[in-house]
Amino acid sequence: MTGAGNTGAVGLFARGIAMGAADIVPGVSGGTVALMTGIYDRLIRAIVAVDRDCLGLLIRGRLSVVWHRIDGVFLLPLLLGIVTAIFALASTIHWLLEAYPQPLWAFFSGLILASGMLLLRDEVLLNRVDRVLWFSLGVVIAVVIAFMSPLALMSGLPGLFVAGAIAICAMILPGISGSFMLLLMGMYAPVLAAVRNIEIVNLMVFAAGCVLGLASFSRLLDALLRSYRILAMAFLCGVLMGSLVAVWPWRRTLEVVISGETAVLTRPVMPPAVAAPQLELCLATFLIGLFFVWVVQLLAARRFG
């Protein structure tokens, strides 16, 4: 899987489409897609390369140097795929979540379970106590986040800026969904509305928050991967596997009151507790998710192995 990051522009654009689609859905992370398709390390390095020195080179007009420094042949098609998916699929994903939520969550469960098992097989062997501890910590954190109640953040443009800074950090972490963090902060609906209606000012403020969060958090993540790669990967794998709680297909809707406002959240339940569990369809989409990850891994191994 590690060699998959060497694919061409079309393959990178397709990965960007998958990452963008994942980032729209609460409970699924674009970082998960990057990790399972073998481009995660390269993505972090490309993001970290966008620093003050890079900006200085850009101002001086040294475009070719900047292009090479930020790995433009990798980053540009990936970003184009992400942006294309977000704007093209926002309405479709929103419709699927409304019309067929259980089969969709089952599909994502299959994706996450299969990618997590492959990562544990290829990246991290849980054969030492420290690795098991960091993996367990990742699982616990993901489960806690999945059961958290929505937070009451500031509204308006300041709220969009803060939400962007926090959500982007989750988006590049496998297993922690940026959209899910927006949901916890009560900002998912405003951001999705801004995307669907192309509200330029709101999108620019949200993007500015994303840039700030990405510039700071990516450097910390890159340092951890360089110095403590195995333990960091064990932790990220734990987060990934723990996030299965967040995408469990069968859920019960609850209403909670936060700061005087009613917020709707869900909790996982067993299928019999749901009026129409759609077990056969959910099993089919779950198996499709497993098969999809297996095919991606097989193709990557054949091409780059």
Tens-place pLDDT, residues 85-113? 888 877 787 788 788 889 988 988 887 78
- Average pLDDT value for residue range 44-55: 84
Query: Which residue is listed with tokens 């019999």?
Result: 272
Is the model's pLDDT at 256 over the cut of 70?
Answer: no
Burial class (CB in 10 A: 0-12, 13-18, 19+), 170: buried
pLDDT at 299: 62
pLDDT at 5: 41
Regarding predicted confidence, which is higher, 47 or 35? 47
Terminal CA-CA length for the chain: 9
Is the model's pLDDT at 194 over the cut of 50?
Answer: yes
pLDDT at 130: 93
- Average pLDDT value for residue range 162-189: 75
- Average pLDDT value for residue range 15-26: 80
CA 289-245-282 angle, to 5 degrees, is 40
| Alpha carbon distance 258, 255 (integer Å) | 10
- Average pLDDT value for residue range 207-230: 84
pLDDT at 260: 55
Is the model's pLDDT at 189 over the cut of 80?
Answer: no
Is the model's pLDDT at 153 over the cut of 60?
Answer: no
> Residue 274 — φ and ψ, nearest 5°?
-105, 140
Three-class SS string for 158-182?
HHHHHHHHHHHHHHCCCCCCHHHHH
Mean pLDDT of the chain: 80
Identify the top-confidence range among 57-71, 114-128, 259-273.
57-71
- The alpha carbon dihedral of 89, 91, 92, 93 has a sign of positive
Regarding predicted confidence, which is higher, 227 or 171? 227
- Name the DSSP letter for residue 149: P
Is the model's pLDDT at 66 over the cut of 90?
Answer: no
Of the ranges 14-23, 48-57, 164-173, 175-184, which one carries the lowest mean pLDDT score? 175-184
Q: How confident is the model at residue 261 (pLDDT cuts 50, 70, 90)?
A: low
Domain residue limits, the chain: 2-289
3-state secondary structure of 294: helix
Is the model's pLDDT at 61 over the cut of 50?
Answer: yes
Identify the top-confidence range among 60-64, 73-77, 244-248, 292-296.
73-77
* Cβ pair 233, 105 in contact under 8 A: no
Q: How confident is the model at residue 151 (pLDDT cuts 50, 70, 90)?
A: low
